[in-house]
A and B are shown apart, each in its own frame.
Chain A
Amino acid sequence: MRPAIFLLLSVPAFSQFAGSFTAASAVDLSGNWSPVIMEDQPERIPGPELVNYAGLPITDGARMWAESWDASRLTLPEHQCQVHVAPYIYRGPLNLRVWDEKDPQSQQVIAIKQYISTYEQTRTIWMDGRPHPSPNAVHTWMGFSTGKWEGNILTVYTTHIKQGWVRRDGLPESDRATLVEHFIRHDNHLTHVSIVTDPVYLTEPLIKTQDFVLNLQEGQNWLYPCEYVEEVSGRPKGEVPNYLPGQNPFLHEYADKYHLPLDAALGGAKTMYPEYQLEMKKAH
Chain B
Amino acid sequence: MTARLIFPIAVAVLAPFASAQSDLDVLPVQGNVYMIAGAGGNITVQIGDTGVLVVDTGLAQDSDKVIAAIHKISNKPLQYIINTHFHADHTGGNAAVRKAGVTITGANVTGNLTDARQGAAIIAHENVLDRMSAPTGKQSPTPPDSWPTDTYTTGQKEVYFNGEPVQAIYQPAAHTDGDSIVFFRHSDVVSTGDIFVTTSFPYIDIEHGGSIQGEIDALNRIIDLAIPKHEEEGGTYIIPGHGRVCDEFDVVEYRDMVTIIRDRVQAAIKKGMTLEQVKDAGYTKDYDARYDTKTGIGSASSFIEAVYKSLKK
- A interface list, Cβ under 8 A from B: 59-62, 64-65, 68, 73, 76, 78-83, 119-121, 134-141, 162-163, 172, 174-176, 199-201, 224, 226, 237-240, 242, 244-245
Contact = CB atoms under 8 A, between A and B. Distances in A.
Interface string B214-241: 0011001001000010111110010000
A140 B233 contact: yes
B157 to A, nearest CB: 25
B126 interface: no
A64 B252 contact: no
Contact of A139 (B232, B244, B281, B285): B244
Interface in B161-211: 198
Interface string B249-293: 110110110011001100100000000000001110111111000
Contacts of A163: 249-250, 253
A162 B250 contact: yes
A138 B246 contact: yes
Contact of A68 (B27, B228, B231, B286): B286
A244 B267 contact: yes
Contacts of B255: 240
Contact of B263 (A78, A121, A244): A244
A28 B214 CA distance: 55
A138 B286 contact: no
B232 A81 contact: yes
Contacts of A61: 285-289
Contacts of A174: 289-290
Given A61-B288, A136-B35, A238-B220, A245 B283 contact: yes
Determine chain A's interface SS by DSSP, over half rule: loop
B249 A64 contact: no
B230 A120 contact: yes
B20 to A, nearest CB: 12
A110 to B, nearest CB: 21
Given A82-B232, A174-B290, A137 B252 contact: no
B228 A136 contact: no
Interface of B: 25, 27, 35, 37, 198, 216-217, 220, 223, 228, 230-234, 237, 243-250, 252-253, 255-256, 259-260, 263-264, 267, 281-283, 285-290
Contacts of B27: 134, 136-137
B249 A138 contact: no
A137 B245 contact: yes
A78 B232 contact: yes
B245 A136 contact: yes
Contacts of A135: 244
A156 B260 CA distance: 36
B162 to A, nearest CB: 22
Contact of B231 (A76, A121, A138, A200): A121
Top 7 closest pairs, chain A to chain B, by CB: A65-B286, A64-B286, A240-B259, A138-B245, A81-B232, A200-B289, A136-B244
27 contacts: A61-B287, A61-B288, A61-B289, A62-B286, A65-B286, A73-B256, A78-B248, A79-B252, A81-B228, A81-B231, A81-B232, A83-B232, A119-B231, A120-B231, A136-B243, A136-B244, A137-B27, A137-B244, A138-B247, A139-B244, A139-B246, A140-B234, A163-B253, A201-B289, A242-B256, A244-B263, A244-B267
A238 B285 contact: no
A240 B244 contact: no
Contacts of B232: 78-83, 226
B5 to A, nearest CB: 34
